Amino acid sequence: MPAPAESTTARPAKFLGWRMLAFATVTAALTGPGQTIGVSVFIDHIISDLGLTRSEVSTAYLIGTMLGAITMPAVGRWIDRIGVRPAITAIGVGFAAALVAMSGIGNFITLAAGFTFIRLLGQGSLTLASTVAVTHWFDRRRGFALGLFATISGALMALTPVFLNLVINAYSWRTAWIVAGISILVIVVPIARWGIVSYPADVGQVPDGTVTTEVDGTPTPSRPSMTRAEALRTVGFWILLAGSASNGMLSTALNFHQISLLGEAGMSSAEAALMFLPQVVGASLAGIGMGALTDRVSARWLIPVTMIFLAGALGLASIVSPGWLVVAYAICLGLANGSGRAVAAAFLPKWFGVGHIGSISGLMTFAGVAASAIGPVAFSLGRERFGDFGATSLFYAAIPLAVALAAVVLLDHPAGRRRRDRVPG
């Protein structure tokens, strides 16, 4: 159950949910230095200065990502127990310290340890706590709010490599880690400590700012919350997890190998890098659009749409060429990323309530992060087996198509309705 109320202050005149959404969006965007998009600008410098091979650095990153992912279910339970305000405060302090510590790495072991902590605290814990913060403040408009959250935080996060690269060019890569850590300390921690309110009830408010009523005028009862153990016994949870893991695995694989994949299609590294921009456009459109649709349309149809976007990106990757086709590929991959985040974030609380949402979301985060660590390796093995990334992409397109079929069939199947009173399809 949620932590006890943190304060008994008077009820504010205006609904604070939109302010909480803005604060949580900023804290999520500042996970950038712990995300692949931020770490990528340090890789060549680490290889050069530490005398490690690219494979060794990739292995250290894989180890750090997997170790960080394993802790996510426990982190989720911890967030449920103490509330998002103290959780984000503590995570912010730890993340800042981990980033500063990255400036002192000197070998494979310290690099793997550093990756573990920035992935655990940044990509995993801070992202999870920020998402839970939004979840508690909205109910009927939760999908729309989470869509805005994912879209704006993703767009802001895209500035991370630009900022870090400027610091690296002006000073050094070690200084850039220190600057990143200080930024977290002076922005995330104050927002969490003095801006975030864990639950609407802490200030006498309710989700969405209004109390809905039945036809007779009585307040609508709040949606019952399920424990993580109860959620695990539903078909819907596993289909949603499969969709999230598929997106994490295959989108990360395509992004990780994008320069090489598009290089095989005749594009230069600079041209291939530019294709991250259409992805942001696609992710932004899908994040807001799909987020709004989750408030009105069944997951039985929205999960397949997300998976079709992903399968479409993989299919286009198999025939990609310079021109409109590569832009279509990038937009389609962005649509898969944006819609996947919105669907997973919205349907978990919609189906299972918010009483144990951190614990349930933590397991979903673990699956997504672990799958994202496996994806690049799986694609590398596929390229060795099939000879190029095109055939490999086409081979892996079967995964999202299978998840889409499972959603259409099982979310309307008796096995998927064993808890239909509490978990609609």
The string of pLDDT tens digits covering residues 397-420 is 999 999 999 999 988 643 344 444
Closest CA to 237 of 1, 418, 46: 418
Q: How many CB atoms lie within 10 A of CB 296?
A: 9
- Residue 222: the pLDDT is 54
CA–CA distance from 400 to each of 75, 169, 205, 403 (Å)?
28, 41, 40, 5
The string of pLDDT tens digits covering residues 355-374 is 888 888 888 888 888 888 88
When mean pLDDT is compared across 24-38, 55-69, 161-175, 202-216, the lowest value belongs to 202-216
Please, is 258 exposed, middle or buried when counting C-beta atoms within 10 Å of its C-beta (0-12, 13-18, 19+)?
buried
Q: Using the predicted structure, report yes or no on whether residue 218 has a pLDDT greater than 60.
A: no
Cβ atoms of 194 and 63 closer than 8 Å:
no
Closest CA to 313 of 295, 294, 326, 298: 326
CATH 1.20.1250.20 in the chain is located at 17-208, 228-417
The string of pLDDT tens digits covering residues 46-83 is 888 999 887 788 788 889 988 988 998 899 899 989 99
Q: Using the predicted structure, report yes or no on whether residue 335 has a pLDDT greater than 70.
A: yes
CATH 1.20.120.160 fits 17-208, yes or no: no
Helix (H, G, I), strand (E, B) or coil at 268: coil
- Stronger pLDDT, 211 or 81, i.e. the higher one: 81
Percent of the chain with pLDDT over 90: 38
- Residue 11: the pLDDT is 59
The string of pLDDT tens digits covering residues 240-269 is 999 999 998 998 888 777 777 888 888 876
CA–CA distance from 351 to each of 288, 408, 418 (Å)?
20, 17, 13
- Residue 269: the pLDDT is 67
Cβ atoms of 86 and 94 closer than 8 Å:
no
Cβ atoms of 38 and 32 closer than 8 Å:
yes
Residue 237: CB partners within 8 Å, gap ≥ 6?
A: 231, 351, 352, 360, 423
The CATH number assigned to the domain with range 228-417 reads 1.20.1250.20
Amino acid at 327: V
- Stronger pLDDT, 247 or 375, i.e. the higher one: 247
- Residue 421: the pLDDT is 40
Both tokens of 390, joined, read 């095109």
Output the pTM of the full model.
Answer: 0.76
- Residue 215: the pLDDT is 43
The upper half-sphere exposure of residue 257, i.e. CA atoms within 13 Å in the direction of its Cβ, equals 27
Q: Using the predicted structure, report yes or no on whether residue 271 has a pLDDT greater than 80.
A: no
Both tokens of 324, joined, read 């409109």
Mean pLDDT over residues 21-37, rounded? 92
Q: What's the whole-number average pLDDT of the chain?
A: 85
Cβ atoms of 199 and 136 closer than 8 Å:
yes
Closest CA to 199 of 295, 82, 121, 363: 82
Mean pLDDT over residues 381-389, rounded? 85
